[in-house]
Structure 1
């Protein structure tokens, strides 16, 4: 029976540049997957990211929270009918970068303070878990929201 990690490698762009165990520790490892911009797709993004980090031997708790928030935002605020979102997770040693690209480049995320309405508060969580985070517009009509964490 295949494990979730085996399935990840089959359905996603598993891009490990390393070939040996010692090389894996210093090489940039990459996982990417394209998912439907739905709540189910957002949940799957979180589950796949956690399993990939486990297979790389990296802690996943902070990354799991960031992926959950960014994927949820892509599915709710970045959704365009018929368009997917893409999750990329890169690890370079203990530095992990998460990128979520959605089809709504016209809607840039704006973090909001608690008590300032319901939208935008999840980005406060991203800011709390991440060393740094930001948004990049493009390629048109998309945007990518990214976060970097040390695990």
Structure 2
């Protein structure tokens, strides 16, 4: 089962993406790891808005449940691939993907034909 929604390149879309993911989890009756999943969705959406989505384009958020794993996928059509950084403690940014990689049970960035997808998987109890 999955749900997908597109969002414009706007800072308000980060909150909307987090809400979409939270609402989807609630509809599916999933509360396990809800906060981690929503936080990671926010970080991936923020990364897309700030660094990935070209002006005038949208990004998509896909939430899927495959057995005991909930997947969050954020896809944009921008060039380049993001990397997990290890910023200095006094750095003001650069922790988003590091946080996702730390919280998720699985994390990958896929180079797509157009753009890229950032995917985070979370182990949950099977339905």
Q: Same fold (TM over 0.5)?
A: yes
Is 2:24 the partner of 1:71?
Answer: no
Task: Give distance in 2, aligned partners of 1:45 and 1:88.
Answer: 10
Which residue is equivalent to 2:98?
124
Verify: 1:34 aligned to 2:9, yes or no.
no
Structure 2 residue 34 is matched with structure 1 residue 89: no
Larger RCO: Structure 1 or Structure 2 (Cα < 8 Å, ≥ 6 residues apart)? 2
Separation of aligned partners in 2, 1:95 and 1:32: 16
Higher radius of gyration, 1 or 2: 1
Give TM-score, length-normalised by structure 1. 0.75
With over 3 angstroms needed to count, the CA separation of the structure-2 counterparts of 1:118 and 1:112, relative to structure 1, is: farther
Q: What secondary structure, in the 3-state scheme, does the structure 2 residue paired with 1:123 have?
A: helix
Which runs of no fewer than 5 residues in structure 2 stay unpaired? none
Distance 2:93 2:80 in 1: 13
| CA displacement at 1:107 relative to structure 2 | 2.2
> Which residue in 2 is equivalent to 1:47?
19
TM-score computed with the length of structure 2 as normaliser: 0.88
Pair 1:56-2:10 in alignment: no
SS in 2 for 1:75: helix
How many corresponding residue pairs? Answer: 121
1:118 shift after superposition: 4.5
Instruction: Say what the alpha-carbon RMSD is for the aligned residues.
Output: 1.5
CA distance in 2, matches of 1:139, 1:126: 24
Query: How far did residue 62 of structure 1 move?
Result: 1.1
Partner of 1:108: 81
Q: 2:27 and 2:59 mapped to 1: Cα distance? A: 23
Contact between 1:131 and 1:150, CA under 8 Å: does it hold in 2? yes
